[in-house]
Structures are given as C-alpha cells and as structure tokens.
Structure 1
C-alpha cells in the first residue's frame, strides 16, 4: 500500500526550516498525548503557530505529518550505520557496536512512547501507520544488519545463513531479556543491557561463525 508521506517542500530559508521543525516537534507532543486518531491538525497548528495551509503544503495531511515525524526520528537511529566505514571485517567489534547503539536507542523514553502509540492505534489509518513504522524502524535496522552479514558470508567468515532471519535473531537476543519490562515502565540499567548483549553475541557467533579447520 503506498505511503501518504509527502516529500517535503524544500524549506529554502532558515526560517522555513525552523517552521517545519516546529510543526514536527509539536506534532510529536500532540500525538503522544492524544494518540494518532485523537490528534487534531488544528490543535497542532494552534500550539505551533502558523497556518493549516503551511502544514498541508509541507506534509500533505495528518498521516503525512505523522510519517514525517517517524521518518525523522528513525533517521537519527540508523543514519550512522549507512555511512562508509561503520561495517568492518571485525565481526565481534562491529556487532557489539551495532548492538549497543540499538539498545541505547531502544530504551529512550520517546522510542517507547512511539512504539506504544503505533501498537495501540485502532483508527482507519492503523495498517498504514504500523507498516510505515515497521519499514522505517525495525525493518530498516534488520536490513542493514542482514546486508552486513551477507558480506561476511561471501567472505567465508560466516556459515551460509538466511541473513534476514539471522539479523532478526541477533537483534531479538540483544533485547529479549528486558524488552517487555521496558514497555511496562521498568527500563534496564547499563549492566543488564551489556550482559544481554555479550551473551547474545557469544551465542550468535558460536552458531554462525565458520569453524576453523582445527575445530
């Protein structure tokens, strides 16, 4: 199903960019307070200032505004792993760096709030919202890791794997010990997160790494 996310009209001035960011920031507040279905673009404009015509010109409609908010926040999470040099042939160091980054973003309060909002949505746009969130967030993270694992398989450092599934399994192992408690308002401390990550890495590499001839 096509997305309603509208390619933003270029903000040619600093003032225009500030206006767009103000709408995104206020929209996030209103969506978190009232849910997607309950949120009103009139309320967003009232708080942010400006006009409805500006909002519609920049985002198309409420769904486009919501998707722009999600896109911006997920870009912050995954952009660092789409630059050259982040994925190296040091499997352990690369997976540790990726796992720590994902964990640190996962436990942020606004990330938990967005997940709860998306899962609880029951309005007519529910499927589109949930699909967009999945594609921009979890699926993007899985794709990045799966692409890296494929290169390691091709180089003979990992066994032949279903790399898409393996990426999901590694990510799930790094968060499984604490994720449901996190959603219920009990975030893990750094020690627990690191223990989960180290054990996930150990188990993953034991199963996925190519055996040496002497083993």
Structure 2
C-alpha cells in the first residue's frame, strides 16, 4: 500500500463510501459504467435537468437499482464526484515512488494533479458544482471537504514521509502548493471555454510552482537546522 493510500484511510482523511460497494468484479465494473455514464449525463444536461430516466436510458439498469445503491439523485451525483476524485488519486498512485526525493515529488504530483483538473470532464464538473451549490449547499460542502481539503491532507502525508518538518507546516505547504497550481491555467480554463493549455504551458506552470514551494521548504529546513545548533 502506498503512502497516499495509507493517508486516505487515516481518520479525517478518508472518502467515506456513498454507495453500497459491489462484492464482485462484475458488479464493480457495472457501477463504474453507471457512474461514468451518469456524470456525462449531468455534464450534458445540468444537475436539475439530468433525470434518472435519462441516466437509465444511457447506462441501463433501473430506477430501483439506483435508489438501492445511491438513495437519490443527489446521492448518485455525490457518488459521481467521489468517482472523479478517486481517479485523480489512482493516477497519482500509479506513479508514486517512496524512494523519490521530495523536490522531484513536487513536480511529479504537480504534473499529474494539474493535468487531471484541466481535463474536459474535471472542468465541466467544476462548473457544474459551482452552478449547483447555491441550491444544494451540501454538495458544495461535501466537495470542498472530500475534494480540496482531502487533497491537502493526503499530499501532506506524502511529504511527511520525505521531509523532517512538523505536520502542520506540511499541511500549509500542501495547501498553498495545490492552490498555486490552480491559480492560473485552471482558473483561465474555467472561465474561458476556448482556452486549452498545451503541454509546455502546463510543464512551465508546474516547474514554477515547484521551485517556489521548494525554496520555501528549504528555508524551513534551514530554520530547523539552525534551531538545533
């Protein structure tokens, strides 16, 4: 189990399942297909107009199956959000290496994270969440807790395995690094549907954010070294 998997299972850093998990691989594959289809329907029609009938027509199954698994349309929508958040973590876990140095880890994580949140599906989902939260504030609160805050905590746990710093400092570093990654390209793409950043733009953004964060980390390490003398 990787460090990020262990971090997600710690108290206060775990995505509690909204769904009834299938017991067989076939069942899990069907759930994944349903969630992939449902999020596409939500993105195409919006939360209010995405009826269960439209989702069933595209994914198959029945209304009773959706209610037994997710409880309601809101439950299904939250399960879709969890599914999308999971995909970001799984993409990172595939490249995680406990032997990698912390400076390289900043760039590896930054590249995977920024590319993930810049995808068509992630941008569309962000726009959808912002449009829904005024009427459904619990959805916004859930996504902030299980999306943004969880990402800060989990990457802080990764850094804890690589840096001799206080965990509260690592949480602050993680928070500001992730928000720095989002500050330009993500917000530009969120606001301008015609803006598509290329690979060079993404790599430059990650490199800049990583260098700024690394410089701050080195200053903390120097302070720690000085305090021990």
Measured against the shorter chain, the TM-score band is 0.7 to 0.9
* 1:61 and 2:72 correspond: yes
Show the counterpart of 2:20.
8
**1:48 — aligned with what?**
59
Deviation per residue, 1:78-132 (Å, 9 max, x gap): 13545895344611111111111111111110000000000111564x2221122
In the alignment, the residues of structure 2 paired with residue 43 and residue 130 of structure 1 have an alpha-carbon distance, to the nearest angstrom, of 24
What secondary structure sits across from 1:8 in the alignment? coil
Distance in 2 between residues matched to 1:117 and 1:41, nearest whole Å: 17
Unmatched 5+ residue regions in structure 1? none
Pick closer, same or farther for the CA change 1:171–1:13 going to 2, 3 Å.
closer
Q: Which residue in 1 is equivalent to 2:181?
A: 174
Q: Aligned Cα RMSD in Å?
A: 2.9
Contact persistence 1:37–1:123 (CA under 8 A): no
Q: TM-score with structure 2 length normalisation?
A: 0.77
Query: Distance in 2 between the 1:4 and 1:13 partners?
Result: 20
Counterparts of 2:24 and 2:167, CA distance in 1: 49
Aligned counterparts, 1:77-116, within 5 A: 77-81=88-92, 86-88=97-99, 90-116=101-127
Structure 1: how far apart are the matches of 2:150 and 2:171?
11
Distance 1:27 1:65 in 2: 8
Which of 158, 171, 176 is equivalent to 1:164? 171
Contact 1:70 1:136 in 2 (8 A): no
1:198 corresponds to which residue? Answer: 207
1:34-58 Cα offsets, whole Å, 9 max, x none, are 2212221122223333221111112
In structure 2, stretches of 5+ residues that fail to align are 1-14
Normalization by structure 1: what TM-score?
A: 0.81
Mapped to 2, the partners of 1:107 and 1:84 lie a distance apart of 19
Against the structure 1 CA distance between its residues 29 and 165, is the aligned structure 2 distance closer, same or farther, given a 3 Å change threshold? same
Across the two proteins, how many residue pairs are aligned to each other? 206
Indicate how the Cα distance of structure 1 residues 161 and 134 shifts in structure 2: closer, same or farther if over 3 A, else same.
closer
Residue 132 of structure 1 pairs with residue 107 of structure 2? no
